[in-house]
Amino acid sequence: MNSVFMRRSVREFDLTKKISYEALVELCKAAEAAPSARNQKGRAYIVLDDKKIIDELSSVSPGAKVLSNCNTAIAVIGSNPEALSTPHMQLQDLSCAVENILIEATERGIGSCYIGIYPLEDRINSCNEILKVMHPSFTFALVALGYPKEENVFYDKGKWSDDLLHHNRF
Ligand SMILES: Cc1cc2nc3c(=O)[nH]c(=O)nc-3n(C[C@H](O)[C@H](O)[C@H](O)COP(=O)(O)O)c2cc1C
């Protein structure tokens, strides 16, 4: 399976199958293996397997409702931007980390869905409050995780189109 091509957003999970805490930690390690500007990192992770907290998070935005269908998730946290050498690159660093979670999850047969939080202040504040994330750290994104309800959810969606491709100059 080439996970980059097979990955897709999964929003329906088989709640009878649980992802182990250890596997969730491995997904965080995959996230932290992502590149970051000047290797500054500036990231932290919260493994979520408390259904009560996950249900609270499901109300932070319309798109977060997917969380009510799952019992595991990861919150990707940005750490103090002022402590970083290239703070203006922190958001890209965080995005790379989220993508690694999605790819590694796919590799393990785990379904995932990116839930956008940053830069919407009301969402950031709600997540920070629920997760006890203190300023200047901030919640960047949530990832819903679980074994897919449907079989064969991973397939190449054929997103590529040849007109996206340019050679040497745009
Ligand atoms: C920055 C970002 C924010 C997203 N936020 C949400 C969200 O809040 N809820 C959700 O269900 N999906 C969310 N998604 C998933 C997109 O809807 C999904 O990636 C897109 O429709 C393409 O489908 P695919 O992931 O199956 O290829 C988000 C994706 C990104 C990259």
d(CA 170, ligand 1 centre) in Å:
27
Q: What is the mean pLDDT of the chain?
A: 97
134: pLDDT strictly greater than 70: yes
* Shortest-distance atom of ligand 1 to CA 102: 25
pLDDT digits (tens, 9 = 90+) for 73-106: 999 999 999 999 999 999 999 999 999 999 999 9
pLDDT digits (tens, 9 = 90+) for 1-30: 699 999 999 999 999 999 999 999 999 999
- pLDDT score recorded for residue 1: 60
Residue 139, SS3?
Answer: strand
Q: pTM for this one?
A: 0.98
How many CB atoms within 10 Å of residue 35?
Answer: 10
* Shortest-distance atom of ligand 1 to CA 8: 26
- Please give the span between the terminal C-alpha atoms of the chain, in angstroms, as a whole number: 32
DSSP per-residue string spanning 37-80: GGG---EEEEEE--HHHHHHHTTSSGGGGGGGG-SEEEEEEE--
Residue 140: phi and psi, rounded to 5, are -95, -45
- pLDDT score recorded for residue 139: 98
Tell me the percentage of the chain whose pLDDT exceeds 90. Answer: 99
pLDDT band at 112 (very low <50, low <70, confident <90, very high): very high
Tell me the percentage of the chain whose pLDDT exceeds 70. Answer: 99
Structural domain boundaries in the chain: 3-149
- The residue nearest atom 14 of ligand 1, judged by CA position, is 114
> Residues 149-156: what's their mean pLDDT?
95
- pLDDT score recorded for residue 109: 97
pLDDT digits (tens, 9 = 90+) for 46-66: 999 999 999 999 999 999 999
Domain 3-149 in CATH 1.10.3720.10? The answer is: no
Pocket-forming residues, ligand 1, beta carbon under 6 Å: 8-9, 11, 61, 63-64, 66, 113-116, 157
Q: Are 60 and 123 in contact (CB under 8 A)?
A: yes
